[in-house]
Structure 1
Amino acid sequence: MTQSQRPVQRLVVKIGSGLIRTPEGRLNEDAVRQYAKQLATLRKQGVEVILVSSGAIALGLPVLQQQRMPRTIALQQAAAAIGQSHLIRNYERLFGRFDQQVAQILLTHADLRDRGRYLNARNTLQTLIAYNVIPIINENDTVSVDEIRFGDNDSLSAMVCNLIDADTLMILTDIDGLYSADPRLDPDAVLIPVVENLDRRIEALAGRTTHATGRGGMYSKIQAAKIAGASGIHTYIANGLKPDIITQVLDGEARCTHIHPPVAGKLSSRKRWIGYALKAKGTIVVDDGAKHALTIQGKSLLPSGIIEIREDFDFGDAVYCTDASETRFAQGLVNYSSQELLAIIGQHTSRIETILGQKAYDEVIHRDNLVLLSSV
């Protein structure tokens, strides 16, 4: 058995907009038909399949006489409104040729940030899967603004993996995977077939290149693998322009990059929600002693270890924890607002009630509400 051959029960496949759109801006029907055929075949073989598809904005651009991603949200939303109906109508038609039912799911970050809506989305997807329907998920670009936007569908696909307990994420793009350098610029670049430890060196290799009609790039795919890895999920980055690429990756026959999850194991559903579904409202900078207590000893964060508070946030908000060198190493739910923390920063817990007039908690962030981020 090769590195890429693993039993797969629940698979999330993300397809980028560049793979389903021709240079002229039309739907690449041949490509979409091939994806539909492969996924429908896998579903009939017992693999539970979820498709995350970009392309709504890209397909709507020609109608608005736009060649590149519009800079304004209004134009992006208009393009998405035009392109999304075109996209799902064709997915339904092409999957239908292989007797496979599909369903459209449009999400914003707010749908996953709210715990109740998160669980409702999870239940809907679980029900569709149970009825042998392939969910086709996209960001709801017609209503998304910066506060509720995922940023790119790579991140969305990883969060979907966490949402429905997938075991495998496959991100299809226009190159074979992660290279030692950008292969379009450096002829000596070599493919990295396996990543055992997704650290900052690997992130640096990814760079931040983007596509003219998309929001992602290799860097966003590596970040998605980090999110998926927190759930013990294996990620494959592969070239979606190659025939039968999905089945070849699963059979261990494709040139691709296989990113392993951390050996530490998967987070609970609630901790995945805290660490990766929520958007941080602020930052707490801690000293080395507090970082050691949080990362090595599994302790809660106390006010005595805090050296700086950044941005405004309220009780119950998610915040980042960073060290003095600006390294983000954790995210958690705070028991005090930023204004309250400014008053008790660096103080012993015995002083909280004297300073604030009350003490609801000893901990600023309880360890049960704290998630260590990967690549610490």
Structure 2
Amino acid sequence: MTRQGQKIIVKVGSSLLIGDDGKVRQAWLETLVADIADLEQQGHSLIVVSSGAIALGARQLDLESGGRASLADAQAAASVGQIALSRLWSTLFAEKQLTAAQMLLTLGDMEDRKRYLNATATLERLAEKGAIPVINENDSVATDEIRFGDNDRLAARVGQAASADRVILLSDVDGLYDRRPGSETEGQFIPVVEAVDDNILAMADGTSSSGMGSGGMTSKLEAARIANLAGIELSIISGREDHPLKRFAESGTGTVFRASRSENARKSWLGGRLTASGSITVDAGAVEALRSGNSLLAAGIISLDGQFMRSDVLDILDPEGQVIARGLAEYDAMDCARIIGRHSSELEALLGYAPRSAVIHRNQMVLV
């Protein structure tokens, strides 16, 4: 499954961690921890992204709908459940002479560059000391508007921050099918995906089959796109059986998303962001220029959206409204509006100062 000395992210979903009775699947979890301990002994470095706090807390607080009936219920359940979840992982790792570390992250921690680098530094230091981070979204404070919404994408972003070699998503299915398993027409299993394109995205189903988690195949494909952008291979494998990581190493059964390219760290962070301060729509000529590796010039801009400032992250849209790139603005929205569609030779007279070379420079931009 892995070369020696790899850094591996393992994501565990709620439906695998918690049984239908609302209790921890203790026996299964012990086999997963044994797999992780074996990989650590082989010289790999592991990071766990674990769901389950809301489900655990809901049971303890006797909340309906698994703690997801309202945002207040979810936050309360997460507050109680996170203690239980941390204790669970810490105890099981201690039995294998391993040290667990807890990290609770929000979307803002990954979207803000400074906070992202702080998380990166923490992950690096924990790896140096041989501790295994157990990471979850901080659902006790996250709101519907500012959250990852699922731990698949969180796992991919953690993979970027940790400079991981691979991300493994343990799922209730054994990988990607060209249609949802159980549909009238039997789906074809997809063992290898070279690129997450429109054809692959069309195979996704956005629902969680257990009803317990918040993700689905759509979130897993988005996670694969984020990971691949950073040169990280991502795999979706079944977690229903005991020793899932060992079984994957022996059988190779699962869907592997190949990492075809690796952007630099800043561009990987940009491409993996889930939010933007605004957007710029460009014409067909600009689309071609960007895909050829050029910067975005004012002449190619059709319209703007959002009240952004210089250095804010912007989505770049093609004439059909599809996001084709993401980058850091060199102008604020007000100045940018004054130079839409104008040639570089006109900008100094329009702005009253020496213009910057591009609205978004190619070194501060990533195609998505």
TM over 0.5: yes
Question: What amino acid is aligned across from residue 27 of structure 2 in structure 1?
Answer: D
Question: How far apart in 2 are the matches of 1:353 and 1:72?
Answer: 53
1:256 aligned residue? 254
Using the TM superposition, give the Cα deviation of residue 186 of structure 1 relative to its aligned residue in structure 2, in angstroms.
Answer: 3.7
Question: What amino acid is aligned across from residue 41 of structure 1 in structure 2?
Answer: D
Is the CA contact 1:106–1:139 (under 8 Å) kept in the aligned structure 2?
A: yes
Of 172, 176, 185, which aligns to 1:178? 176
**Counterpart check, 1:13 vs 2:10:** yes
Q: How does 1:44-63 map to 2 (within 5 A)?
A: 44-62=41-59, 63=61
Question: How far apart in 2 are the matches of 1:361 and 1:313?
Answer: 17
Is the CA contact 1:245–1:254 (under 8 Å) kept in the aligned structure 2?
A: no
Question: What amino acid is aligned across from residue 54 of structure 1 in structure 2?
Answer: S
Question: What amino acid is aligned across from residue 244 of structure 1 in structure 2?
Answer: H
1:44-75 deviation digits (Å, cap 9, x = unpaired): 11111010011111211222422245253222
1:198 aligned residue? 196
Greater shift, 193-202 or 207-216, is seen at: 207-216
How many positions carry a matched residue from both structures? 366
Of 143, 146, 160, which aligns to 1:145? 143
1:279 aligned residue? 275
Using the TM superposition, give the Cα deviation of residue 212 of structure 1 relative to its aligned residue in structure 2, in angstroms.
Answer: 1.8
1:328 aligned residue? 323
What CA RMSD, in Å, does the superposition of the two structures yield over aligned residues? 1.7
- In the superposition, the TM-score normalised over structure 2's length comes to 0.94
Question: What amino acid is aligned across from residue 217 of structure 1 in structure 2?
Answer: G
Using the TM superposition, give the Cα deviation of residue 85 of structure 1 relative to its aligned residue in structure 2, in angstroms.
Answer: 0.5
Greater shift, 239-248 or 146-155, is seen at: 146-155
1:275-320 deviation digits (Å, cap 9, x = unpaired): 2146211111101111111111x11111110011122222211011
Question: How far apart in 2 are the matches of 1:180 and 1:148?
Answer: 31
Question: How far apart in 2 are the matches of 1:214 and 1:367?
Answer: 38
1:246 aligned residue? 245
Q: How does 1:1-376 map to 2 (within 5 A)?
A: 9-62=6-59, 63-68=61-66, 70-186=68-184, 188-210=186-208, 211-251=210-250, 253-262=251-260, 265-277=261-273, 279-296=275-292, 298-373=293-368
1:176-206 deviation digits (Å, cap 9, x = unpaired): 1101211133451121111123211011101
SS at match of 1:246: helix
Question: How far apart in 1 are the matches of 2:339 and 2:273?
Answer: 29
1:136-188 deviation digits (Å, cap 9, x = unpaired): 01111111124541221111100111111111110011011101211133451
Question: What amino acid is aligned across from residue 23 of structure 1 in structure 2?
Answer: D
Is the CA contact 2:11–2:169 (under 8 Å) kept in the aligned structure 1?
A: yes
Is the CA contact 1:303–1:348 (under 8 Å) kept in the aligned structure 2?
A: yes
1:304-352 deviation digits (Å, cap 9, x = unpaired): 1001112222221101111011221100001122232222211112222
Using the TM superposition, give the Cα deviation of residue 115 of structure 1 relative to its aligned residue in structure 2, in angstroms.
Answer: 2.4
SS at match of 1:313: coil
- Taking only the aligned residue pairs, the percentage that are identical comes to 40
Is the CA contact 2:32–2:242 (under 8 Å) kept in the aligned structure 1?
A: no
Question: What amino acid is aligned across from residue 101 of structure 1 in structure 2?
Answer: T
Question: How far apart in 2 are the matches of 1:103 and 1:184?
Answer: 39
Question: How far apart in 1 are the matches of 2:159 and 2:132?
Answer: 14
Greater shift, 45-54 or 275-284, is seen at: 275-284
Distance 1:5 1:110, change over 3 A: closer
Instruction: Provide runs of 4+ in structure 1 moved above 4 Å.
Output: 4-8
Question: What amino acid is aligned across from residue 73 of structure 1 in structure 2?
Answer: L
Using the TM superposition, give the Cα deviation of residue 224 of structure 1 relative to its aligned residue in structure 2, in angstroms.
Answer: 0.4
Question: How far apart in 1 are the matches of 2:147 and 2:2?
Answer: 34
Is the CA contact 1:283–1:319 (under 8 Å) kept in the aligned structure 2?
A: yes
Using the TM superposition, give the Cα deviation of residue 28 of structure 1 relative to its aligned residue in structure 2, in angstroms.
Answer: 1.6
1:82-109 deviation digits (Å, cap 9, x = unpaired): 1111111011111222221111011112
Using the TM superposition, give the Cα deviation of residue 7 of structure 1 relative to its aligned residue in structure 2, in angstroms.
Answer: 5.4
Question: How far apart in 2 are the matches of 1:349 and 1:12?
Answer: 46
SS at match of 1:61: helix
- In the superposition, the TM-score normalised over structure 1's length comes to 0.92
Question: What amino acid is aligned across from residue 319 of structure 1 in structure 2?
Answer: L
- Tell me, which stretches of 5 or more residues in structure 2 are unaligned? none
Question: How far apart in 2 are the matches of 1:350 and 1:68?
Answer: 61
Question: How far apart in 2 are the matches of 1:7 and 1:237?
Answer: 21
Question: How far apart in 1 are the matches of 2:363 and 2:97?
Answer: 46
Question: What amino acid is aligned across from residue 232 of structure 2 in structure 1?
Answer: I
Question: How far apart in 1 are the matches of 2:87 and 2:198?
Answer: 41
- Tell me, which stretches of 5 or more residues in structure 1 are unaligned? none
